Structure 1
Amino acid sequence: MDNYNPKQLYTWYKHENTEEWHLFKTVLNPKKLSTGEIRLFCTRIEEESVCEQMDFSDAASDRLSKVCVREDGARMQAAEILKRTACGNCVATLYSTQEY
């Protein structure tokens, strides 16, 4: 598939009103701390979830402990942790981008 990117990372965020979890595209960005140490921080690429049904401004402070995960990790989080609280449209995008 043309839109498959094995380096694409994702993070699940919970909608503050519906409590449904939505998926956002994210990247790891290096940032130099005042100590000189370089750390990687997970940053959203877009303000809308991959299903386009949630804007990040509607996100609750809840977040999974593992962020900036690969596609397979996001699928596992949906199946094993979030279950029915994961947005079905977001989950579907994870399977529609997989190459066979």
Structure 2
Amino acid sequence: MELWIKDLKCLHGDRMSCGKFKANQFRLFLYAAAYVMLYQLKHKAFEGTEIASFTMDSFLKKIMLSAVLIIEQKCAIKVSFAPHHRYRAEITKLLSTIAA
């Protein structure tokens, strides 16, 4: 349970900057929805890999914030990672699965 709280704080889910309850409640709802989407992506898309066991902070820093080159073509979008990216094979496998 404590790790989930830590992961939610990593997404800045503890920031309640408005003085109104409804605004803070909606903001917390959006943070929780973002957490659930990232959690599902991490565990379902990268099942059986080292990435599935990452904390949310590690997942964001090592996977989601990866530098990529995106080239838009007439009928396709090409995503290129740095050749030395540590998790390039796993990410490429995921993207090819999505594209198929």
As a proportion of its length, which structure holds more strand?
1
TM-score bracket, normalised by the shorter chain, equals 0.3 to 0.5
User: Which structure would you say has the larger Rg?
Assistant: 2
Higher relative contact order at CA 8 Å, sep ≥6: structure 1 or structure 2? Answer: 1
